[in-house]
Homo-oligomer: A and B are copies of this chain.
Amino acid sequence: MRITEIRESAIKLESKLRNAAFSFDEMTTSIVAVVTDVIRNGKPVVGYAFNSTGRYACGAQIRDRLAPRLMKAQAAGKVSIDPQAFDPDAVLAAMMVGEKPGGDMERSVGIGTIEIAVWDAVAKIAGQPAYQLIADRYNGGKVDRDVFCYVGGGWYLPGKGVPELLDEVRRYLDWGYTLIKIKVGGVPLGEDVARIEAVLKLLGDPKRLALDANCGIGPDRRPAYAKAIKPYGLRWFEEAAHPVDYAGNAEFIAQYEGAVATGENLFSVEDVVNLTRYGGMRPGLDIIQADTPQSYGIGTLARMLAALTPMGWTARDVLPHGGNMMSLNFAAGLGLGMCEAYPDAFGVFSGYADDLKVLDGVIRAGDWQGFGFERQRELHALMAKAG
């Protein structure tokens, strides 16, 4: 059994959402299809993935370098999609040939997306859910199918005021979610405080509300945000500082004291280790977010967890960035703390299998094959067109 072709298709997100740092007007994503010569129900098994959200499509890297290298390594017998022989580290090594150390993101997005699409193909060939394959390799086979999901929402939109924000949060509650994250930093502090207080009144419990500044509050505004928001005792405050401004993150933590989260804009094990070494992060309280399709894939997520363990961190302290079937499978297979959900952002690239229900914030992973993209009708139609 072998990969016969790797296809990429860039899709525009069609979103007007805005956070404190930037808007999604131009945003694209790459769908990757790994086509195999394994035939099921008269059709080749195809593994799919997409590069999460927030980083642009990377088809040029995939076509010019990454896919040809993987095909070359397969031809040399170094890479296999046979479930008995599959080695994600060999998939990564094949695509890293000819790459200089550091400056990861230019290739980590394409590599991570291809690596996950290969996992999807291998899991389908094995007739298993991706979370089971992931658990078997990295978590002693232990799966936690009940995954708590929080909503990453509360975006800024032109003309959106507090009433519209409350309508949005009410929708999430109606759908069964209980923990809601809203954006901050995109308006003056006074306006953000009014947004926070309104949502807090609706939710009742401050541990049901988290905030996300998306690195959009500079060092000048940061102390005022820490001081004003600390008394509310919210669930967490996300991306208070630039992703690699570890001193800025530590300084914010010293002022804010409450739980913080960051890491979705780190793309290597080395950067994540630096965050825990220099960023003032506290295991058991703070949260490390990893975007696995954007940071070399599942093998590297496992390496991140292994590097964090000696420093007192556990898988429960790590959340996958991005609300989609990939994140849900990572969380279920590795025992990650929880999963993100974007119930009405990013079109078909958000949400879970069409038949999944949210109960008190919990989603139960089903008996799908691979990542279960086939159970998400609109996304799968787009994937099937691409691959």
By a beta-carbon cutoff of 8 Å, the part of chain A in contact with chain B is: 21-28, 54-56, 58-61, 64-65, 97-106, 109, 214-215, 242-247, 265-268, 270-271, 274, 277-278, 294
Say yes or no: B247 contacts A102, CB within 8 Å: no
Report the bound CA distance from A60 to B278 in whole Å: 35
- Residues on B with beta carbons closer than 8 Å to the beta carbon of A61: 56, 60
- Residues on B with beta carbons closer than 8 Å to the beta carbon of A21: 100-101
Say yes or no: A98 contacts B242, CB within 8 Å: no
- Residues on B with beta carbons closer than 8 Å to the beta carbon of A243: 101-103
Checking B26, B242, B278 against A102 with a beta-carbon cut-off of 8 angstroms, the contacting residue is B242
Q: How far is the CB of A357 from chain B (nearest CB, A)?
A: 32
Can you list 20 pairs linking A and B with CB atoms under 8 Å apart?
A23-B98, A24-B98, A25-B98, A54-B100, A55-B103, A55-B106, A56-B64, A56-B65, A56-B106, A60-B60, A60-B61, A101-B214, A101-B265, A102-B215, A102-B244, A102-B265, A103-B267, A106-B109, A244-B268, A246-B274
* Chain A contact residues: helix, strand, loop or mixed: loop
Say yes or no: B277 contacts A247, CB within 8 Å: yes
Report the bound CA distance from A350 to B267 in whole Å: 31
Checking B26, B270, B271, B274 against A98 with a beta-carbon cut-off of 8 angstroms, the contacting residue is B26
Say yes or no: A103 contacts B105, CB within 8 Å: yes
- Residues on B with beta carbons closer than 8 Å to the beta carbon of A27: 98
Given contacts A56-B64, A270-B242, A274-B246, contact A104 B101 (CB under 8 A): no
Given contacts A56-B64, A106-B109, contact A100 B265 (CB under 8 A): yes
- Residues on B with beta carbons closer than 8 Å to the beta carbon of A106: 55-56, 58, 105-106, 109
- Residues on B with beta carbons closer than 8 Å to the beta carbon of A59: 60
Which chain B residue has the least Cβ–Cβ distance from A110?
A: B106
**Residue from the set A58, A99, A105 with the largest chain B CB neighbour count within 10 Å:** A105
Report the bound CA distance from A277 to B251 in whole Å: 14
Q: How far is the CB of A297 from chain B (nearest CB, A)?
A: 16
- Beyond A102-B266, A103-B267, A244-B274, 20 additional contacts (C-beta under 8 Å) are A26-B98, A27-B98, A28-B64, A56-B61, A56-B64, A56-B65, A58-B106, A60-B60, A60-B61, A101-B215, A102-B105, A102-B265, A103-B104, A103-B105, A105-B105, A106-B106, A242-B270, A246-B278, A274-B274, A277-B278
Checking B25, B97, B105, B268 against A104 with a beta-carbon cut-off of 8 angstroms, the contacting residue is B105
- Residues on B with beta carbons closer than 8 Å to the beta carbon of A270: 242, 244-245
Q: Which 3 pairs show the lowest CB-CB distances between chains A and B? A: A103-B105, A102-B243, A102-B265
Report the bound CA distance from A5 to B214 in whole Å: 34
